[in-house]
Amino acid sequence: MEIEKELGNRDLIVSSTNKKGIICYVNSTFTKISEYTKDDLYGKPHNIVRHPDMPKAIFKYVWENLLNKKPVVAYVKNYVRGKKKYYWVKAVMYPKVVDNEITMITSYRTKATSFEISQISEIYRELVAYEKSHNVSESLNYFKEYLKNKTLTYNRMINRLNDNQQVLNTALLNFNISEFKSDHMIFRSRIESLVEKGYENIDVVKPTCCAFGKRLETIENESFAKDNKFLEIKRLHDKVHTELQLYVDADESIRVNYMNEVYKDIDTLFEIMETLKNDHKYDFEV
Ligand SMILES: Cc1cc2nc3c(=O)[nH]c(=O)nc-3n(C[C@H](O)[C@H](O)[C@H](O)COP(=O)(O)O)c2cc1C
């Protein structure tokens, strides 16, 4: 029974090869995850980490693109040293071309999500089974035919998998939009009533003192959190808290001005959240 090794959201596994696939560079995340040392890897063919669940057709497709000087993306399952553990990655591979010659190929790998893994491993299983009685060219044709039947190209299949992940993430975010909004309104009115009761030293600057702030913190490492709109949400949320503090500390005569700002910013913030779902693009972090 093989064990899956899970990558962290921030892990970026990098390796480079020459145009024959011989490893000439690996970063420290590669050695950490693969459990090989640099000495084990340098000068070795990259299939040293190959897992038998990977269809030959995928590597054929990858190499066809790379040798045509085109970057290519693939989901890859790799073995950890000892072949008892494995890990899944989303790999973006770039050939470096100097004077029309490929001098090096580099692969940048990030964590594949469980959704992506479940979808792609189904396709890979079918291809590996097909490859038991067909050669690799037949398998690649079979794969292309399979994509055509679904009116997909290879790149669209990859993008679709990413999009689906985004839809899932956004759904998660949207599911709670109204909950977040009411949470914040309750928080705001609690502050108001504390102020009215004459409490002093009320601290509302720290955004994580509300449930929404805590939630923002838990999702800030997700892929969609790199989105500019998401960053704007965080900025506005911090601003709301600062304004609440100004409201608390201000003279009674001008307090209302700060609260008006808070109302306005909460509305803007949730408008942005509503539109966030419409324009996600996954950017590979390279
Ligand atoms: C830059 C680069 C990175 C690669 N990374 C991997 C990898 O992580 N895992 C893997 O199995 N193959 C990787 N390959 C593909 C291997 O070179 C090889 O084609 C593949 O393992 C299939 O090996 P086989 O043809 O001996 O079965 C990479 C190739 C390049 C050019």
H helix or E strand, kind and range, residue 147: helix 136-149
Q: Name the residue type at position 127.
A: L
DSSP three-state, residue 137: helix
pLDDT computed for residue 177 by the predictor: 61
Strand 85-98, strand 3-4: pairing: parallel
Beta bridge partners, 90, equal 75, 110
pLDDT computed for residue 256 by the predictor: 87
Contacts of 200 (CB under 8 A, 6+ apart): none
Q: Which residue has the tokens 């409201």?
A: 247
pLDDT computed for residue 231 by the predictor: 83
pLDDT computed for residue 281 by the predictor: 38
118 φ/ψ angles, rounded to the nearest 5 degrees: -65, -40
CA 247 from centre of chain? 38
pLDDT computed for residue 207 by the predictor: 65
The alpha carbon of 46 and the centre of ligand 1 are apart by a number of angstroms equal to 5
Domain ranges of the chain: 3-167, 176-276
The alpha carbon of 8 and the centre of ligand 1 are apart by a number of angstroms equal to 22
pLDDT computed for residue 171 by the predictor: 55
Alpha helices in 87-132 (DSSP H): 114-131
Read off the tokens for 222.
Answer: 């997700």
Nearest CA to ligand 1 atom 28: 46
DSSP letters, 253-272, are HHHHHHHHHHHHHHHHHHHH
pLDDT computed for residue 209 by the predictor: 66
pLDDT computed for residue 219 by the predictor: 72
Hey, what CATH topology would domain 3-167 get? Beta-Lactamase (3.30.450)
H helix or E strand, kind and range, residue 3: strand 3-4
145-154 own/partner pairs: CB under 8 Å, 24+ apart = 154/61
pLDDT computed for residue 251 by the predictor: 87
Read off the tokens for 113.
Answer: 């999500």
pLDDT computed for residue 279 by the predictor: 47
Read off the tokens for 210.
Answer: 């509300």
pLDDT computed for residue 178 by the predictor: 66
- Looking at ligand 1, which atom is closest to the CA of residue 78? 9
The alpha carbon of 16 and the centre of ligand 1 are apart by a number of angstroms equal to 11
Strand 85-98, strand 101-111: pairing: antiparallel
Pocket of ligand 1 (CB under 6 A): 15, 17, 21, 46-47, 49-50, 54, 59, 66, 76, 78, 93, 105-107
Strands (DSSP E) found in 28-164: 72-79, 85-98, 101-111
Nearest CA to ligand 1 atom 2: 107
Residue by residue, pLDDT tens for the chain (286 residues) are 999 999 987 789 999 999 999 999 999 999 999 999 999 999 999 999 999 999 999 999 999 999 999 999 999 999 999 999 999 999 999 999 999 999 999 999 989 988 889 889 999 999 999 999 999 999 999 999 999 988 888 988 988 887 776 666 665 555 456 666 677 777 778 888 888 888 877 877 766 667 777 777 767 776 667 667 778 888 988 898 888 888 888 888 888 898 889 888 888 887 777 666 544 433 322 2
CB of 136 within 8 A of CB of 194? no
CA distance 166 to 127: 26
The alpha carbon of 223 and the centre of ligand 1 are apart by a number of angstroms equal to 26
Handedness of CA 157, 161, 164, 166 (dihedral sign): negative
